[in-house]
Amino acid sequence: MNSIQISITAKNYADALVQLGQDGMLSYDDILKNLESVKEICANSPDLNSVLENPTISDELKYSIIDEVFQKDIHEKIIDFIKVLIEKKRFKEFYGIVEAYRDELDKINNLQRVSVTSAIELNEEMKQRITEKLQKRLSKNITAEWLIDKEIIGGLVIKINDDVIDSSLKNKLENLSKNLI
């Protein structure tokens, strides 16, 4: 699950991207794919990220770098969006904007991302049953991230946004020991 802080500014820019999708210029998924491509390129090139965030480098030089790096693979509307971020000195918000946009897309698609941690690898049947129960309980489509943590001993720990459902044996033992003291 993501751990990027999403600012109000990032949410506002993400809303602008949603509007771009509503206007039919690009599909919601194409916008996300383009943003993910930019994010991956920037993550794999710390120098590029530093240049784009550096206030002492001229916007014109940054624009030419953006055109050079992204022109082949990224839609012109997303390139224009990145240039607006540069112009407004908001490129540092980019990763938060991508996460905020993904959150908005999840709302549009009635999708809930969850993290399910177990002590052992779950088979596909168990994963399917857990997913179905969560879909029924939340009345949303579920995308699960499956994690393994041997320290929980048994049971599951399910994270939904900021909520945690902890049915792990480790948690039950800790609660039992607190009640005995």
Give per-residue pLDDT as tens, 135-144.
Answer: 999 999 999 9
**Distance separating alpha carbons of residues 116 and 156, to the nearest angstrom:** 7
Residue 133 is encoded by which pair of tokens?
Answer: 């129960």
Determine the pLDDT at residue 3: 61
pLDDT in tens, 34-57: 999 999 999 999 999 999 999 999
Q: pLDDT grade, residue 174 (50/70/90)?
A: confident
End-to-end CA distance of the chain: 35
Q: pLDDT grade, residue 153 (50/70/90)?
A: confident
Q: Select the CATH number that applies to the domain covering 8-107 from these four: 3.40.50.620, 3.30.2000.10, 1.10.10.10, 1.10.520.20.
A: 1.10.520.20
Once rounded to an integer, what is the mean pLDDT over residues 55-69? 95
Using CA of residue 94, residue 99, residue 102, residue 108, what is the dihedral sign? negative
Residue 63 above 60 pLDDT? yes
Determine the pLDDT at residue 55: 92
Determine the pLDDT at residue 74: 95
The number of beta carbons lying within 10 Å of the beta carbon of residue 179 is 7
Higher pLDDT, 102 or 170: 102
Rama region for 24: left / alpha / beta (φ>0; ψ in -120 to 50; rest): left
User: Per-domain residue ranges for the chain?
Assistant: 8-107, 111-180
pTM, two decimals, is 0.77
Rama region for 117: left / alpha / beta (φ>0; ψ in -120 to 50; rest): beta
